Amino acid sequence: MRNFDAPFLVIWELTQACDLACVHCRACAIEKRCPSELTTEEGFRLLDEIRSFGDPLMVFTGGDPLKRPDMLPLLQRSVGLGLRNTVTSSATPLLTERAIEGFRECGVARMAISLDGPDAASHDGFRRVDGSFARTMFALEYARKIGLPSQVNTTVTRHNLGRLDEPAQLVQCFGAKLWSVFFLVATGRASASEDLTAGEYEEVFRFLYDLSKTIPFDLKTTEAQHYRRYVAQRRKADGNGDAVRQAMPEVIRRQAGINDGKGFVFVSHLGEIYPSGFLPLAAGNVRRDSLTAVNRESPLFRTLRDADRL
């Protein structure tokens, strides 16, 4: 049985400030930074402790991380510690050529950016700021030009249902390494009315599974635990039943059924320790608690890892 005492993935929400206003925003992002955000020094200490987990994948997210003037020193510290880092930026005027070059120069492994529709009308309508689609296209093109690997994040809602093949084509056009497909969790500004029906989930899973066999980039789902069940059923139906378990990580790009609090830990802009950004229940705060101890011992995290209680 796999040991989840150390997470595979650590996400730090550097700030909730962001100049976009997305319909579904988990963070309920606002324009200005909160004065109580973790300071630069607290961020350095947090990164040191994250490194003590071993070799987790580190994601710098927000809000928009570029709203913090100390973002590059924080990224440099993380790279210097030997962590593998992804930075998730918002497509705003802050995401300039210089900013993207800064990611590459300080050794970020990957820049992630959101794309929720294949054109300005669909994407900007969802992000609620005109020009966001054009900035996304610019950022992906510029990252490709300077050799910075990119990742595209897409949230599946009723808004883009039936059009997912179009963002997938853009992922391929820009040479992105990973298409990360998020399924809606009705937290923050997200409304359950935007979510899919059970039948629509199955349709999207069918599309993703079929697509995964043909694409040159990796495809990963988030908050779609039932995709594992779908993949198992399809492989069995395809006559590959014996290979289902062994091949699962290869198909879904997840090492071991990572779930909230199970291989995954999220630190909020105020230092609260959540099982994930989509489950904002604080099991501690890095200002007073050890992140490694909370992840290993807190009743909330331990309960979430107890499959018998599902």
Binding site for ligand SF4 (CB under 6 A): 18, 20-22, 25, 27, 29, 62-64, 90
Q: Is there a contact between 237 and 245 (Cβ–Cβ < 8 Å)?
A: no
Could you tell me the smallest distance in angstroms from the CB atom of residue 52 to ligand SF4? 28
- Output the 3-class SS for 169-193: HHHHHCCCCEEEEEECCCCCCCCHH
In sequence order, which residues have a C-beta less than 8 Å from that of residue 14 and are 6 or more positions away?
Answer: 37, 38, 43, 60, 61, 62, 63, 65, 67, 68, 71, 74, 269
Alpha-carbon distance of 300 to 52, in angstroms, equals 21
Answer for the pair 209, 234: CB distance below 8 angstroms, yes or no. Answer: yes
In angstroms, rounded to a whole number, what is the distance separating the alpha carbons of residues 292 and 283?
A: 12
Token pair 């883009």: residue: 160
Q: Which is nearer to ligand SF4, 111 or 294 (CB)?
A: 111
Min dist. Cβ of residue 51 to ligand SF4 (A): 26
CB closer to ligand SF4 out of 27 and 178: 27
Nearest to 8 by CA among 292, 293, 263: 263
Min CB(88)–ligand SF4 separation in Å: 8
Q: How far is the CB of 308 from ligand SF4 (least distance, A)?
A: 34
Q: Which is nearer to ligand SF4, 26 or 235 (CB)?
A: 26
Q: Which of 90, 298 has the CB closer to ligand SF4?
A: 90
Task: Specify whether the CB–CB gap between 18 and 185 falls below 8 A.
Answer: no
Task: Enumerate the H helices of 6-89 as residue ranges.
Answer: 40-51, 71-80
- Write down the least CB distance from residue 63 to ligand SF4, Å: 5
The residue (of 64 and 260) whose beta carbon lies closer to ligand SF4 is 64
| 28 vs 281, beta carbon nearer ligand SF4 | 28
Q: Rounded to an integer, what distance in angstroms lies between the CA atom of residue 210 and that of residue 181?
A: 14
Q: How far is the CB of 25 from ligand SF4 (least distance, A)?
A: 3
Residue 129 CB, nearest distance to ligand SF4 (Å)? 9
Kindly tell me which of 25 and 108 has the beta carbon lying closer to ligand SF4.
Answer: 25
